[in-house]
Chain A
Amino acid sequence: MARTTTTRRGLLSGLANGLMTLPAAAVYTGLTVVPVGYAVYYSFTQYNGIPSQAPTWVGWENYARIIADPIGDLRPAAWVTLVIAVVGAFLVNGAALGIAMLLRRTTAFNTFARAVMFYPHVLSALIVGFLWQAILGPQGALNNLLEHAGRSTLPFLADPDWALVTLVGVIVWAQFGVQLVLYLAGLQAVSPELQEAARLDGANGPQVFRHVTWPALAPTVTVTIVTSILSLLKVYDVVLGLTNGGPGDATQTWAYEILAVSFANNKVGLACAQAVLLVVVAGILSFTIIALRRRAEEGAEAVG
């Protein structure tokens, strides 16, 4: 008797627990998990997205096409995305850490400067792209200034190589503020006594940084590298505003390929295969970095 009531109570509370998680689970499953499932399924089909025509199963064909790249349109996008993710992550983190060291003390001037470094993040990436296009375009503000100063104009967005460099620069300008905030939070946690002790032992500024501050920052560095790479891998809006992928396909990123090339041309199967690959690459990269950083973080505990 007592036993049945407990089971019944257990069942009831289990049901109540289920009901509490139901709304979140339903929205998340319906519009994130199911679409991921669909993406995986469509990635093995040829499908133009028209409801009256069913997808036809083609096996690994879409993936084979991405890897073999017969008409040479996907490798440039993979290359552009790789450059943005790797070079961008280095520059974003370098700028953020360097400026965080300059602004680590909380003074009125530094608080103002932190806000100034951060504000591009509250603007939408599309608007940032359009704004810099108006500044760096062939007719843009900077080239007009150069012309009036009697110098030759610079092909910031007109030359393929320049355009990629410019794109990375604009992304760094817009994004390092986020990582700056994270580094500032990380620096607050570095023990001031330890730094002072190192100084008293005769260490100079760079030595204190290398042997005390940097190891203690290790967990922050992991977070900033992973979050910046994850966001750099899916760069799209800023490209649309700044270059629209051009000149030619010089600044077409992987996300641009998915949305503005494959999907826009009704190649839903191919678009989904590209999306699945991007998620897989992002996952592998994140876990690799987290695993590689574990050693550095263990060092942080020893120092902290």
Chain B
Amino acid sequence: MTRTTPIRTALRVGLVAVLSIAMLVPMYIMVVNAFKPQQEILLSPLGFDLATLTTDHIAAAWQNTSFPVVEGYAVTLFLVLACNAVAIGASVPAAYTIARTPTPLFRFLLFFFVAGMFVPAQIILVPAIFVLKALGLMGTLAGLVLFMSSTMIPFTLFIFSGYIRMLPRSLDEAASIDGAGRQRILWTIVFPLMRPIVATAFILNALSAWNDFVSPQLILGPGSQFRTITTGVYAAVSTYTTNYEIVFPTLLLAVVPILLIFVIMQRHIMGGLSAGAVKG
């Protein structure tokens, strides 16, 4: 560690700087071109002329009926919160019971849940659609939330049960002697201690719900009144991929909020990811 020469440090910093710029160029192209007319996007994709910069296309993208931006955000945010509420709310008591009941039956139950981590969500979507149809939930937000939550439960429950197992059992026993019931022990003693792992699960589930495209597209259906950010972008952009006056402003509107959240929460998001992987 101590024998790093100034030249090597400079080389390393230079290399990292070049790589960082390479990572950011696509964002730069998107931002700059969102404010330019088609002609100029084609003429000079990287430059910009202050005189011809315009917010017209952003305004048009904002008003595009294929991608109602505000509603798209509202629906997507609702999915993030509702799926997390269902997945975390259902996983906490189940994980607690599994972690505190060391019988073969509950060990098998954990295995049963964990097996779901190897089933890709978009692959079981086709048969899941038939189940949702049978339940009368096809095309509804409730059906979508239930499906997305069910794909989150295996991982959420797995990291929760691992975490609860590390919490000393004597806590439960002390509370039990003081006369607290199981539900009370779980929600007032164990659950508050689980805050770090709940935050990890929330962040990872939120990212997957926010970015999911296939589930809302197929379960809500392309003609649905509800559009998420991804299905809205698809509806607005997929048939106009060379009309850059539509593509860049639409993409910009779709990514700005999540990038802002990322910049603010960057440490928690990346920390949550590595915490989840270490537990997983």
Find residues 230-258 in chain A having any chain B CB closer than 8 Å to their own CB: 230, 233-234, 236-237, 240, 244, 255, 258
Q: Which of B101, B113, B230, B244 contacts A124 (CB 8 A)?
A: B230
Within 8 A of B (CB), among A80-123: 99, 102-103, 109-110, 112-123
- Which partner residue on chain A sits nearest B207 by CB separation? A122
Known: A123-B211, A130-B241. A20 touches B123 (CB 8 A): no
Separation of A233 and B118 alpha carbons in the complex (Å)? 11
Q: How far is the CB of A113 from chain B (nearest CB, A)?
A: 5
Is A259 interfacial (CB 8 A cutoff)? Answer: yes
Known: A137-B241, A144-B45. A35 touches B213 (CB 8 A): no
A134-164: CB near B (< 8 Å → 1, else 0) gives: 1101011110110010000000000000000
CB neighbours (8 Å) of A24 from chain B are: 90-91, 93-95, 113, 153, 157
**Interface residues of chain B: helix, strand, loop or mixed (majority):** helix
Are B122's CB and A255's CB within 8 A?
yes
Minimum distance in angstroms from B170 CB to a CB of chain A: 19
A27/B1 contact (C-beta < 8 A), A223-B277, A230-B120, A236-B214 known: no
- B20 lies within 8 A of chain A by Cβ: yes
B280 at the interface (CB under 8 A from A): yes
Decide: A279 and B119 in contact? CB cutoff 8 A: yes
Chain B residues, CB < 8 A from A21: 93-94, 97-98, 109
Q: Does B42 contact A (CB under 8 A)?
A: yes
Report which of B30, B98, B126 forms a contact with A263, defined as CB distance below 8 A: B126
Interface pick from B57-65, B193-201, B252-260: B252-260
- Nearest to B208 among chain A residues (CB) is A124
* Bound form: Cα–Cα A214–B213 in Å: 37
A78 at the B interface (CB under 8 A):
no
Question: Is B162 among interface residues, defined by CB-CB distance under 8 A?
Answer: no
Known A17-B106, A102-B16; contact A268-B146, beta-carbon cutoff 8 A: no
A178-B273 contact given A120-B23, A196-B1, CB 8 Å threshold: yes
Bound complex: CA A10 to CA B42 (Å): 74
Query: Is residue A57 within 8 Å, beta carbon to beta carbon, of the partner chain?
Result: no
B211 contacts A124, C-beta separation under 8 Å: yes
Whether B255 pairs with A236 at a CB distance below 8 angstroms is no
- Between B116, B133, B135, the greatest number of chain A beta carbons within 10 A of the residue's beta carbon is seen for B116
Q: Which residue of B30, B89, B237 is within 8 Å of A23 (Cβ)?
A: B89
Which of A112, A131, A259, A272 has the largest count of B CB atoms less than 10 A from its CB?
Answer: A131
For the complex, what is the distance from the CA of A237 to the CA of B188, rounded to whole Å?
42
Q: Interface residues, chain A, CB within 8 Å of chain B?
A: 16-17, 20-21, 23-25, 27-28, 30-39, 42, 49, 51, 99, 102-103, 109-110, 112-127, 130-135, 137, 139-142, 144-145, 148, 173, 178, 181-182, 184-185, 192, 195-196, 199, 223, 227, 230, 233-234, 236-237, 240, 244, 255, 258-259, 263, 268, 271-272, 275, 278-279, 282-283, 286
Query: What are 18 pairs between A and B in contact, CB < 8 Å?
Result: A28-B154, A30-B135, A31-B131, A35-B128, A39-B124, A121-B207, A122-B262, A124-B233, A126-B230, A130-B233, A134-B33, A181-B274, A184-B274, A230-B118, A234-B122, A240-B234, A259-B122, A275-B126
The 8 closest A-B pairs by CB, nearest first: A141-B45, A124-B211, A31-B150, A185-B274, A24-B94, A38-B127, A35-B127, A24-B90
